[in-house]
Structure 1
Amino acid sequence: MLARWDEMIVPLDGETLLLRGERSLLLAAKASSRFVLFIETVEDEYCQAVDPDDLVAVSMPEGGPAEQAEMMLELVRRYHTPLVVLPKDHPGSRRLSMVVSVGPQIHLSCTIQRGTHPEQHLLCSSEEFSGVSLSGIPGGVVIKNLPSRIEVVVLDGEKSAEDKQQ
């Protein structure tokens, strides 16, 4: 059985939190502003209020470049791009390399199908992240049930992906 940290508080103020496992990663950052997030389903459109201390999280269950996840995070956080929720058993679900969740608390699970959950407190992850939860608090984020093998890195929020390429 893996050792887990019961609770860890990571200070965040404009930075991005990277959780890197052996095979997957999760990127999270504070929303930083108040906005309305539109969640689109086949049948309806939901409007969710987002507060500055809420989290925007991008899960990459098979891993990949953190820069790709950072672009997705910024599309939602900075540009308020709507989220699309696919119907259960949609064939496109298995091709999603990234999934996004926005809210005050986010719980990671490996038992849900990617891209099919309009409930923003639940996010698909790899097995190595399953059971981890994140909560936005003033000045930081609380991480619960983090396996000891997961690397926690705070990335400088001042440099955008564009700045890093120059």
Structure 2
Amino acid sequence: MIVPLRDELLLISGTRSFLLAAKANALFALRIETPDKEYCQTIEPSDIIVVSAPEGGAIEPAIMLAEFVRTYRIPLIVLPKDHPGSKHFSYLVSAGPLITTSCTIRRGTHPEQHLVCSSDELAGTTLKGHTDGVEITGLPAGASQRFVNYRMLTEFS
């Protein structure tokens, strides 16, 4: 199914976890910082940014992470596979034309942006960016989806 998506965010929820998807809506270079080197990935306007919350939690941090990448072009950090801090990531980000969720990878250790760690209940879901939205395949029967709107402050009083 293709879900229309422009500036709003799409929330895909399981019973205990969620994914948040946003269209990039711009051409930019995304920097991916690993312990060994820096990668630079081109993000196209039709690409998507996906934030995964494998254990659920508040939606506001996920919105902030999506906007950090989409609006402010904050680089992504990738830890080495044996880093003890990887288990503490509550929210994970991936960006690109096609993103697949997996519960068999270690959080925050994959520089490949076609893959993001998820809960087992949302594992195997694939999101593919399109000009007018996002195509979702492999969505489990119990998952729900809805649009999320928010207002960012752009001026200080």
The answer on 1:65 being equivalent to 2:53 is no
User: Is 1:15 equivalent to 2:8 in the alignment?
Assistant: yes
Secondary structure in 2 matching 1:146: coil
TM-score (norm 2): 0.95
Q: Which runs of 5+ in 1 are unaligned?
A: 1-7
State the match for 1:107 in structure 2: 100
Q: Judge conservation of contact 1:21–1:150 (CA < 8 Å) in 2.
A: yes
Q: How does 1:73-112 map to 2 (within 5 A)?
A: 73-112=66-105
Deviation per residue, 1:41-80 (Å, 9 max, x gap): 0110000000000000100000011111001110011000
- Tell me which amino acid in the other structure corresponds to 1:115: G
1:144 to 133, 137, 155: 137
Q: Secondary structure at the match of 1:129?
A: coil
Q: Which amino acid aligns with 1:105?
A: L
How far apart are the structure 2 equivalents of 1:61 and 1:52?
26
Separation in 2 of the partners of 1:117 and 1:60? 16
- The count of aligned residue pairs is 154
Quote the Cα distance in structure 1 between the aligned partners of 2:34 and 2:106. 15
Structure 2 CA distance for aligned equivalents of residues 110 and 160 of structure 1: 32
Partner Cα separation in structure 2 for residue 160 and residue 44 of structure 1: 36
From 50, 53, 63, the equivalent of 2:46 is 53
Alpha-carbon distance between aligned partners in 2 of 1:79 and 1:11, rounded to the nearest angstrom: 23
* 1:68 partner letter: P
Q: Gaps (5+ residues) in structure 2?
A: none
The structure that is helix-richer by fraction is 1
What SS class does the counterpart of residue 36 from structure 2 fall into? coil
1:132 aligned onto 2:125: yes
What does residue 160 of structure 1 align with? 151
Instruction: Indicate whether 1:39 and 2:32 are aligned.
Output: yes
CA distance in 2, matches of 1:59, 1:152: 14
Q: TM-score, normalised by structure 1?
A: 0.90
Q: Distance in 2 between matches of 1:80 and 1:129?
A: 27
Query: 1:127 is paired with a residue of what secondary structure?
Result: coil
Letter in 1 for 2:151: S
